[in-house]
A and B are shown apart, each in its own frame.
Chain A
Amino acid sequence: MTFFLSGLRAHTWQRISAYYLLFYFPFSVLYLSHRSFESYELFQFHLVQAEFWVPTFIALGLLVVHSWVGMRDILLDYLPRRFNVPGLVIVGGGLFWVSAELIYLALQLVR
């Protein structure tokens, strides 16, 4: 129970996502900077390659987790206490929409 109440779980996820994203961003910049995006077909072709979309899909999931922990910490640190719950609901709802939208767009892209 202490694990859940101490913030250790959030800290652990923040670190795991930080390590992954630390390596993902240079990889994605290197991958995308050598490709042409002149047409939609080329854009789609480059994004659906397995060597890109698999690490990207993991990265986007971890990015949502990283954003949630970071934004949650900021809200709890700086917002007056009475705004904590509404603030967390707005941020959590927004990130949930981001996750759903990402999955929807990924499915549209591979169609």
Chain B
Amino acid sequence: MYPRHDNRPVYLSLLKFHFPLNAVISILHRITGVLLVISLLLGLIWLHSVILQPETYAENRQVWTHPLGQLMLSLGGISLWFHWLSGMRHLLIEHNIGGLLSSLERSRLSGKMMLFIFVIGTLWLLWEIWI
């Protein structure tokens, strides 16, 4: 963040900006990364309870069949899936595999393909968790 030395009002409405697909994927990569760190902490608390109290294993397992547990599992799973896919795309672009750096058109196409795979995987994941 740039330091400001004046008191002029600043108006930045993020809803008025139109970001290109690469920028949207990049910011979502960061948001899902933060969600994954939070999921890691929650998962660790659950694992702590399971390992230190083996006699309550059955009760601890039931957490994941409760709607709130299923919601957290869905959020964590979707975040991991998106972060993994966009991270892989980023690494492929960095090494120009498939010529992804050579043209804007290919970069856009790879972004759309990634989102398509993400939606398919997310539907499968939600099916597995909720149904």
Q: Which residues of A contact B (CB under 8 A)?
A: 15, 18-19, 21-22, 25, 37, 39-40, 43-44, 63, 67, 70-71, 74, 77-81, 94, 98, 101-102, 105, 108-109
Contacts and interface: CB of A to CB of B under 8 A. Distances in A.
Q: Is the interface of A mostly helix, strand, loop or mixed?
A: helix
Contact of B41 (A15, A63, A94): A94
A67 B37 contact: yes
B130 to A, nearest CB: 17
A40 B88 contact: no
Given A40-B50, A43-B57, A44-B54, 12 more contacts: A37-B61, A39-B57, A67-B36, A70-B33, A70-B37, A71-B33, A74-B30, A78-B1, A80-B1, A81-B3, A98-B41, A105-B47
Contacts of A18: 87, 91
Pairs of residues from A and B, 10 with the lowest C-beta to C-beta distance, nearest first: A40-B57, A40-B54, A70-B33, A105-B51, A108-B51, A67-B37, A109-B51, A18-B87, A101-B44, A25-B84
Interface residues of B, number: 23
B52 interface: yes
Nearest to A104: B48
Given A78-B1, A108-B52, A25 B80 contact: yes
Nearest to A70: B33
A67 B87 CA distance: 13
14 contacts: A21-B84, A22-B87, A40-B54, A43-B50, A67-B33, A67-B37, A74-B33, A81-B1, A81-B3, A94-B41, A101-B44, A105-B44, A105-B51, A108-B52
